[in-house]
A = this chain, B = another copy of it.
Amino acid sequence: MAVNLHIPAQSDIHPVAGIEIGATEGGIRKAGRKDVTVFRLAEGTSVAGVFTTNRFRAAPVQVCEAHLAQGKGVRALVVNTGNANAGTGEPGMQAALQTCRSLAQLLGCEPEQVLPFSTGVILEPLPVDRLTAALPAAIENLRSENWFDAAHSIMTTDTQPKIASRRVTIGEHTVTITGISKGAGMIRPNMATMLGFLATDAGVDPQLLKAMTRRIADRSFNRITVDGDTSTNDSFIIMASGQGSLKIASADDALYEPLFEALADAALELAQKIVRDAEGATKFITVQVEEAANAEEALKVAYAVAHSPLVKTAFFASDPNLGRILCAVGYAGIDDLDVTRTRLWLGETLVSSDGGRHPAYTEEDGQRVMKEPEILVRIALGRGAHRETVYTCDFSHDYVSINADYRS
């Protein structure tokens, strides 16, 4: 059950000139389900990516990084679900490279111009023969209208496809931005088992796009957490086809910031959709930490609260057992925190001040907010002017069921 996850109508999903997508059934995840997706990119498309910080990062992640570093340009992406090709050692690396060679041959480009992505079970060999055998059918199916199909075919334990699409006016230009994401568990910043693909018809200098992509990830996919498990496969890619009229060559361009904001807004929607569809989630929770001395300590506190199983189960129960939030603030690792200067709000309700319960706070007020499907937790530290926001969900019986049963 996803929390307020909006799925746009087909007519509201705008194709991006220069980007075609084809999905097909490869028999990797389960029979009768599309699990192999190919993106074909027009020549000249700028592509940049950010990837998991996990040291056991998957073979396809390593190949993506190597291929992007070669700077030959990217002409295709290939995504399989059902198997992560992670914890697979040298054979896994060979499987990822073979996938790139096969797709390159079919599309008439170089293997280094292909980026591979995998998501699914870790520590099991990738059935690479089935994957490559499925590529011709995926290519057959390439259409610029296939975003919805792609959003479906990259899902693992997701219950809903995740799509963001918009047309925005930047200067005198109409810019199209469309993207998809997947991920529901093993989700925490830097990054999540989370794939995100965002495309625009704007043209962006490749080096500039690289910096933009990192900055956008830090505002979106790097601000969500479900269970604190940083996956082996996280990847977020921005593709700028340059087929539209807007071209950005430098960060000094007056239209750079508006494009950045528009892309970041779409990325945040895609990231939040992962939280809205998180495994077992019944509540969407925004944790905002204010008055921090610096961004790092604000994030420490936000993640301590967002990761606490005790806080998350209390939200699931709609139980305003809010001492658990103070407890998490207290163990977040700020050694010189003066708890008498902190304040805690639930929505608009001031819950705690002076290190204790606020005199005007009543259990009924807390209860009322806790029952909502969307909850804002605001924590002021009384130490400075920095603010950071993290998005998470509650922790329910279904999280346990889903993760105890996944694979079976």
Residues of chain A at the chain B interface (Cβ within 8 Å): 52-57, 84, 86-92, 121-125, 185-186, 188, 227-232, 307-310, 313-314, 316-317, 319, 321-324, 326-331, 334-335, 337, 339-340, 352, 354-357, 395-397, 399-401, 403-408
B88, B124, B314, B327: the one contacting A232 at CB < 8 Å is B327
7 contacts between A and B (CB under 8 A): A55-B339, A87-B327, A88-B356, A232-B326, A309-B309, A314-B404, A317-B405
Give the residues in chain B near A89, CB-CB below 8 Å: 340, 354-357
CB nearest to A280 among chain B residues: B400
B56, B355, B401: the one contacting A56 at CB < 8 Å is B355
Pairwise interchain contact B185-A122, C-beta atoms closer than 8 A? no
CB nearest to A233 among chain B residues: B327
- Contact A339-B56, Cβ < 8 Å, known A186-B310, A400-B395: yes
Give the residues in chain B near A185, CB-CB below 8 Å: 310
CB nearest to A324 among chain B residues: B122
What is the CA–CA distance of A342 and B5 in the complex, to the nearest angstrom? Answer: 40
> A103: shortest Cβ distance to chain B, in Å?
24
CB nearest to A226 among chain B residues: B309
The 10 closest A-B pairs by CB, nearest first: A122-B323, A89-B356, A56-B330, A123-B323, A317-B404, A313-B403, A230-B331, A54-B330, A55-B330, A55-B337
What is the CA–CA distance of A121 and B310 in the complex, to the nearest angstrom? Answer: 12
Pairwise interchain contact A327-B121, C-beta atoms closer than 8 A? no
CB nearest to A322 among chain B residues: B123
Give the residues in chain B near A84, CB-CB below 8 Å: 323
What is the CA–CA distance of A261 and B334 in the complex, to the nearest angstrom? Answer: 34
Pairwise interchain contact A317-B408, C-beta atoms closer than 8 A? yes
Pairwise interchain contact B229-A309, C-beta atoms closer than 8 A? yes
Pairwise interchain contact A319-B232, C-beta atoms closer than 8 A? no
> A340: shortest Cβ distance to chain B, in Å?
7
Give the residues in chain B near A396, CB-CB below 8 Å: 400
Known A88-B355, A122-B326, A313-B404; further 10 A-B contacts with Cβ < 8 A: A87-B352, A88-B357, A89-B357, A90-B355, A186-B324, A227-B310, A309-B399, A309-B403, A313-B400, A319-B404
Pairwise interchain contact A309-B90, C-beta atoms closer than 8 A? no
What is the CA–CA distance of A357 and B91 in the complex, to the nearest angstrom? Answer: 10
Give the residues in chain B near A334, CB-CB below 8 Å: 55
Give the residues in chain B near A92, CB-CB below 8 Å: 356
Give the residues in chain B near A354, CB-CB below 8 Å: 89-90
> A233: shortest Cβ distance to chain B, in Å?
9
Pairwise interchain contact A309-B340, C-beta atoms closer than 8 A? no
> A333: shortest Cβ distance to chain B, in Å?
9
What is the CA–CA distance of A230 and B307 in the complex, to the nearest angstrom? Answer: 12
B54, B188, B231, B357: the one contacting A124 at CB < 8 Å is B357
Pairwise interchain contact B407-A321, C-beta atoms closer than 8 A? yes
What is the CA–CA distance of A86 and B331 in the complex, to the nearest angstrom? Answer: 13
Pairwise interchain contact B357-A123, C-beta atoms closer than 8 A? yes
B122, B308, B397, B406: the one contacting A397 at CB < 8 Å is B397
